[in-house]
Amino acid sequence: MVYIFCRALLRLLYGLLFRLQAVGREHVPTEGPVILASNHLSVLDPPTIGIKLQRKVNFMAKAELFDIPLFGRLIRQCGAFPVKRGGVSKESIRASIELLSNGGMMGIFPEGTRKSSGEAGKKGAAMIALRSGAAIVPVYIEGNYKLFRKMIVRYGPPVDLSDIIAEPSSDALERVTERIMNEIRSLRKK
């Protein structure tokens, strides 16, 4: 209930303040495990990639945020779960895989931190996807969160990993990570 209310409120605010448009929502599966893998520009990105979708999107959030009175409770009720600073912990990986094995959807930023280039990717999204069997939908956020300027969130078709899964190798995580990052970059307007 809290998630639905917050999503509706943020849809209104992002629509008015950032003129947010969503392109390619039809690529996001309506059921089953899904990972939304996006570029990362701002702390405003998690709502940006989730509010235009009908399904609940869960995110990892740094553990310190859960210690903030009221805010910690709010983000937990909106589907966030804690991750410790300095990398993804076993607990957060376990929570991600459990969420996905129950048919949930989560958002992740493979760059690991906010960047404007979209070049580097960490292996966490690839590892979680391979372990869970979730579909990976690339997402690209375009814009700069300036008031009354248009923001666009683009969803691409799920990343095809069939060749990597069919012939696993020692560099599978690197190959999956590279493919995810390439698919995210391919959504950038030319």
How many Å is the Cα radius of gyration of the chain? 16
pLDDT of residue 16: 95
Q: What is the model's pLDDT at position 185?
A: 93
pLDDT at 119: 57
Give the pLDDT score at 88: 61
pLDDT at res. 190: 52
> 121 near 182, Cβ under 8 Å?
no
8 A C-beta contact, residue 176 and residue 126 = yes
Residue 104 CA to residue 173 CA, distance in Å, equals 22
Which pLDDT value is given to residue 189?
77
Concatenated DSSP letters for 108-123?
A: E-TTSS--SS-----S
- pLDDT averaged per 10 residues in sequence order, the chain, 190 residues: 92 95 96 95 92 93 88 89 73 90 94 60 84 94 94 96 82 90 88
User: What does pTM read for this prediction?
Assistant: 0.90
